[in-house]
Structures are given as structure tokens and as C-alpha cells.
Structure 1
């Protein structure tokens, strides 16, 4: 992963963005020697957000199962019928 100082980002933003779009490799931005932010390509960010939504849905489903909030397939079909017409 590429690491850049925030001052370098300020001076060379266009160059850093061009390299980011070409390599698709995230850039770690540091301030005072400490990690401050990641600079990522828009498509990669949107892909990560989509994955997070899927994983959150799976986690909600696993929690519902653990809590016993389940229903039969027939009950689910009946409940969903009004949206599937």
C-alpha cells in the first residue's frame, strides 16, 4: 500500500489521484507520522459498501436465528405474497 503525507497530497493531488485510478491501490494519508485517512478509488469504495450491506444483512439473519425469530417457508411465502403479486 502506498503511503503519502498530507502535505504531499495537498501539493500533488492530481498526480496522486491519477496513480490511484491507474493502480487501484489505496493510499494511506498520514499526518504528523500517524495514519489519518485512506484514499480509495470510487468503484472500489462502492464495491466495499455493497459488500458491507450484504454482510450486515447476513449478521441480522444470524442474530434473528439465534433469537428464535424464524418462520417456516410457507409462512414466509404467505407473508411475502402481497409484494410478489
Structure 2
């Protein structure tokens, strides 16, 4: 992973962005020697957001199962048929 100082980002933003779009490699921005932010390509960010939404939905489903909030196959089909009509 590429690491850049925030001051370098300020001075060379156009070049850093061009390199980012070409390489698709995230850039870690540091301030005072400490990690401050990641700079990622828009497509990669949107892909990560979609993945996170799927994982959150799976986690909600697992939590519902643990709580006993479940439906039989027949009940689920009946509920889905209402939505699909």
C-alpha cells in the first residue's frame, strides 16, 4: 500500500489521484506520522459499500435466527407473495 504525507497530498493531489485511478491501490494519508485517512478509487469504495450492506443483512438475519424471529417456508412464501403481486 502506498503511504503519503498530507502535505504531499496537498502539493501533488492531481498526480496522486491519477496514480490511484491507474493502480487502484489505496493510499494511506498520514499526519504527523500517524495514519489519518485512506484514499480509495470511487469504484472500489462503492464495491466495498455494497459488500458491507450484504454482510450487515446477513448479520441481521443471523441475529433474527438467534432471537427466534423466523418463519416456516410456507409462511415466508405467503409473505413474499404479498410483495410480488
- The TM-score, its normalising length taken from structure 1, stands at 0.98
Post-superposition Cα deviations, 1:4-49, rounded to whole Å, max 9, x if no partner, equal 0000000000000000000000000000000000000000000000
SS at match of 1:38: strand
Backbone CA RMSD of aligned residues: 0.5
- The TM-score, its normalising length taken from structure 2, stands at 0.98
SS at match of 2:82: coil
Q: How does 1:5-84 map to 2 (within 5 A)?
A: 5-84=5-84
Q: Which runs of 5+ in 2 are unaligned?
A: none
Aligned pair count reads 85
Q: Which runs of 5+ in 1 are unaligned?
A: none
Q: What is the CA–CA distance in structure 1 between the aligned matches of 2:39 and 2:76, rounded to whole Å?
A: 43
Deviation, structure 1 residue 81: 1.3
